[in-house]
Structure 1
Amino acid sequence: MTLPRTLLRIVSALGLAALLAGCNLLVLSPPGDIAAQQGNLIIVSTVLMLIVIVPVIFLTFWFAWRYRASNRKAKYTPDWDHSTQLELVIWGVPLLIIIALGAVTWISTHLLDPYRPLDRIDANRPVPAEMEPLEIQVVALDWKWLFIYPEYGVASLNEAAAPIDRPIKFSITSSSVMNAFYVPALAGMIYGMPGMQTTLHAVMNKPGDYEGFSANYSGAGFSHMRFRFHGLEEGDFDNWVAQAREEGTSLGRTEYLELEKPSQREAARHFASVDSSLFDAIVNRCVDIDRLCMDQIMALDAAGGLGLRGLDALALPSQGDARSGPYITAGVCTVETVAPLLSSVVGGLQAP
């Protein structure tokens, strides 16, 4: 004996509802304060729009039922074409909603600016005046994530950690193509671009193991370009740093040039020590010491360049070298003479 079709539909709907009840809507209820404020924006915007959508849907069905062909009791007014009251509702309510959405957008754009340092840990606690943010330097590689902790002198690959209730300042860049750094539990996505540095301020308020990934397609290994973000108690974070110092290897320029080669599904690992100038060299595209840094090139250009001989510095890389120029050649100057030359250029630019 088969169940009636209506009963089958009810049972199917209840089963679907039971499955959805187990879903964790992380974007709408995240443990990080910045992500929580952004989730509230989604809810506020949705509710404001539903003020129009719900009545319109209801009235659509009501009019279809009220004025159906078989309803002979419905009032028939073929000459009706205007109602001042209805016009006020039709134009006034959407206008008020647009004003409200505009106000919310303007305020949140400033309060949730990713470059703006945090002034609160959560809704009930401001950031103490003596608390300094934890700086994490993020590099998007092909196809993996490198995290450098300059305060502690350690780094990690495809794994990040931070103490809860301490503001975090992410400095983000990329080694080759544009990527988007995104930890849904922490804050919104921020782009990382080669030769540029972007900033994100955030805070994690609950311990846990959260997922992070790239939200911008960047090639063959994009699907597996993921990492784990650990929100830890202060003591557990200190243990994480100590473990990195004990188990990790060193990360200098040579090791980084090997690390930045494209690879997929890299296991998480730590680096016990990091070259303090590495992140700045990555941003300025000069980890290879045979290349001029972008800021050095801009300083030379601002001083008028090197004349015709300066064209030698734009020589193409040697055959088989995948890295692109510009390179500085011995025809212009040697590596040993770059620093004094730039010092004199910068000094001339700063002179009144």
Structure 2
Amino acid sequence: MNKPFWTKWRHLMFVLLVPLVTSGCGERYLVLNPAGPVARIEQRLIILTIVMVLIVVIPVIILTAVIVARYRDRPDRTAPYMPEWSESKVLEVVWWGIPIVIIGIIGTFTVRDTFRLVKPQLPEAPLTIQVTSLNWKWLFQYPDQNIATVNYCKIPTNRPVEFVLTSDAPMNSFWVPQLGGQEYTMPGMAMRLWLQADKPGVYFGHGANFTGKGYAKMAFDVVATDAQGFDQWTKQVKASAPPLTKQGYKNLTTKQDIVGKQEFSSFPPGMFEADIRINGGMYMKHQLKEATD
């Protein structure tokens, strides 16, 4: 007795349905829930790419099933044998021409939007936040406000934010999925990433580059609030938090413990720039040593 279709294929159906049922769980789909203009542009590129790829993938899947069903050997029929057939100009044009057009469309929109995000035309002066990835924590410095935080930062809504990124530890990657794509943090270098939040909220951020045993806990929050709330917060930090001294920064860099959120009412002038120069010099010495060995 033949089993019903769903009985024979129940394991495959289970595998296909589980992602759909659990699609609202966890943080894995935050990239598809944008909360700012940069993330929305990147979401459009993702959707465009998926649609363009499906133009190729769906016909290939359908044709594979048709070819297998039509040309397979069966007891009541033998697949036709055509020894004189060698090529088809029409098919050659189809399976070369369509992918070329698709790559051209994806490439055009990707290059256009990438340059827009790398060198954005900002309507107003951005808020600058200097970010340093450590083991295994994140340090955020506000040069204009002269305050600093660890493992969280606060930004005003509807205002562009320029994150200037470096590392005083192994190379890492700064990523806030709902606000935009990731950017690397590297010792001795200053990378830039422009993001913006359109609405208040707490946005999940994480290091997207494996850096050791504390990597899994290397998360941070980006708290977006209105301009008035941001100003009140900066004043509160200035009034109540302790200063970040050179020794305090050294403790952050040398202690590899996973720490919680911290606030500092000030930090030594030029600390971020000095860190880049020091790490950059150490990197160059390392490269020269490798070249001469």
Tell me the TM-score range normalised by the shorter chain: 0.7 to 0.9
Determine which of 127, 132, 140 is the counterpart of 2:125. 132
Larger radius of gyration: 1
1:228: Cα distance to partner?
A: 1.0
Any stretches of 5+ residues in structure 1 without a counterpart? 120-126, 287-292, 299-313, 315-352
Q: Which residue matches 1:103?
A: 108
Greater shift, 9-18 or 172-181, is seen at: 9-18
CA distance in 2, matches of 1:69, 1:14: 30
Q: Which amino acid aligns with 1:107?
A: R
- Is this contact kept in 2: 1:214–1:222, CA < 8 A? yes
Determine which of 161, 179, 184 is the counterpart of 2:177. 184
Q: Which residue matches 1:81?
A: 86
Q: 1:96 to 1:270 in 2, by over 3 A?
A: same
Q: 1:102 to 1:226 in 2, by over 3 A?
A: same
1:74: Cα distance to partner?
A: 7.2
- Is this contact kept in 2: 1:141–1:262, CA < 8 A? no
Q: Which amino acid aligns with 1:6?
A: W
Structure 2 residue 239 is the aligned partner of structure 1 residue 241? no
Determine which of 11, 19, 22 is the counterpart of 1:20. 22
CA distance in 1, matches of 2:188, 2:98: 47
Structure 2 residue 10 is the aligned partner of structure 1 residue 6? no
Q: 1:104 to 1:244 in 2, by over 3 A?
A: same
1:14: Cα distance to partner?
A: 9.2
CA distance in 2, matches of 1:65, 1:18: 29
Aligned pairs for 1:311-330 (under 5 A) are none
1:285: Cα distance to partner?
A: 1.9
CA distance in 1, matches of 2:79, 2:40: 50
CA distance in 1, matches of 2:63, 2:112: 34
Deviations for 1:294-313, whole angstroms, at most 9, x for unmatched residues? 5xxx9xxxxxxxxxxxxxxx
1:118: Cα distance to partner?
A: 4.1
- Is this contact kept in 2: 1:182–1:189, CA < 8 A? yes
1:18: Cα distance to partner?
A: 5.9
Deviations for 1:33-60, whole angstroms, at most 9, x for unmatched residues? 1122112212211211221111011000
- Please identify which structure carries the higher helix content: 2
SS at match of 1:112: helix
SS at match of 1:160: strand
Structure 2 residue 209 is the aligned partner of structure 1 residue 213? no
Query: Sequence identity of aligned pairs in percent?
Result: 37
CA distance in 2, matches of 1:179, 1:28: 23
Q: 1:53 to 1:12 in 2, by over 3 A?
A: closer
1:98: Cα distance to partner?
A: 2.2
1:159: Cα distance to partner?
A: 0.8
- Is this contact kept in 2: 1:118–1:202, CA < 8 A? no
SS at match of 2:236: helix
- Is this contact kept in 2: 1:224–1:264, CA < 8 A? no
Deviations for 1:112-151, whole angstroms, at most 9, x for unmatched residues? 22xx2444xxxxxxx2xxx210000111111111101111
Q: Which amino acid aligns with 2:184?
A: Y
SS at match of 1:273: coil
Q: Which amino acid aligns with 1:93?
A: I
Q: Which residue matches 2:219?
A: 226
CA distance in 2, matches of 1:277, 1:18: 50
CA distance in 1, matches of 2:128, 2:233: 16
Structure 2 residue 267 is the aligned partner of structure 1 residue 274? yes
Q: Which residue matches 1:65?
A: 69
- Is this contact kept in 1: 2:32–2:178, CA < 8 A? no
- Is this contact kept in 1: 2:134–2:253, CA < 8 A? yes
CA distance in 2, matches of 1:40, 1:148: 32
1:100: Cα distance to partner?
A: 1.8
Determine which of 109, 113, 117 is the counterpart of 1:112. 117
- Is this contact kept in 2: 1:252–1:278, CA < 8 A? no
Q: Number of residue pairs matched?
A: 276
CA distance in 2, matches of 1:258, 1:21: 41
CA distance in 2, matches of 1:157, 1:267: 8
RMSD: 2.8
Greater shift, 170-179 or 95-104, is seen at: 95-104
CA distance in 2, matches of 1:255, 1:54: 58
SS at match of 2:34: coil
Q: Which residue matches 1:174?
A: 167
Deviations for 1:180-223, whole angstroms, at most 9, x for unmatched residues? 11111122111111222111111111211111111112223222
Structure 2 residue 99 is the aligned partner of structure 1 residue 94? yes
Deviations for 1:151-185, whole angstroms, at most 9, x for unmatched residues? 11111011111011100011111113211111111
Higher RCO, Cα 8 Å, sep 6+: 2
